Amino acid sequence: MGNPFQDQLLKAGLVNKKQAKKAKLEQHRSRKQNKEKSTSEISNRIREEQAAQAKRNRELNQQRAEENRQRELKAQVKQLIENNRLDQDDRGERYNFVEQNQIKRIYVSEEMAVQLSIGQLAIVKLGDSFEVVPAKVARQIASRDKEAVIAFHEG
């Protein structure tokens, strides 16, 4: 039979061949079921891990997309400011404004100071410097980055 314990039981007369064969068949079936269970458990675990990995990948992709969108908006703001900034007059009138609870100043012509006061011009931040741009451009900048617009007296 192949199983020494089973052979001893047959010789002792405690079991007959039919019972031994049935026991062997039951053992085979139980091993097969255990193997199928472990295979299905492994495949379930693999599916769960793949789903979790896919979720992490989606979240990372969304984060990267958001970072790219923010970079694009910053680049658009920078381009708007550089293309539309007005020349400041170093010998002109001092114009004071508040940025982060600190009083800052730029020098502009008298005409620009009046236009800043009535909302035809605005002060925006480009890096560490401040620039004067037309109101229309200031609205476009504010739609992309509100923090870039420092002083804008809309009417």
* 137 contact partners, CB below 8 Å, separation of at least 6: 80, 81, 84, 122
When pLDDT is cut at 50, 70 and 90, the band that residue 2 belongs to is low
Mean pLDDT over 1-15 rounds to 67
* pLDDT score for 155: 59
Q: Are 151 and 122 in contact (CB under 8 A)?
A: yes
* pLDDT score for 26: 82
Q: Name the residue with tokens 């617009």.
A: 149
Q: What span, in angstroms and rounded, lies between the C-alpha atoms of 12 and 150?
A: 101
When pLDDT is cut at 50, 70 and 90, the band that residue 1 belongs to is very low
Residue 27: Cβ within 10 Å count = 11
Q: Using the predicted structure, report yes or no on whether residue 14 has a pLDDT greater than 70.
A: no
Claim: this prediction has a pTM higher than 0.75: no
* pLDDT score for 5: 65
Lowest-confidence segment of 22-26, 108-112, 131-135, 137-141 by average pLDDT: 22-26
What percentage of residues in the chain have a pLDDT greater than 90? 39
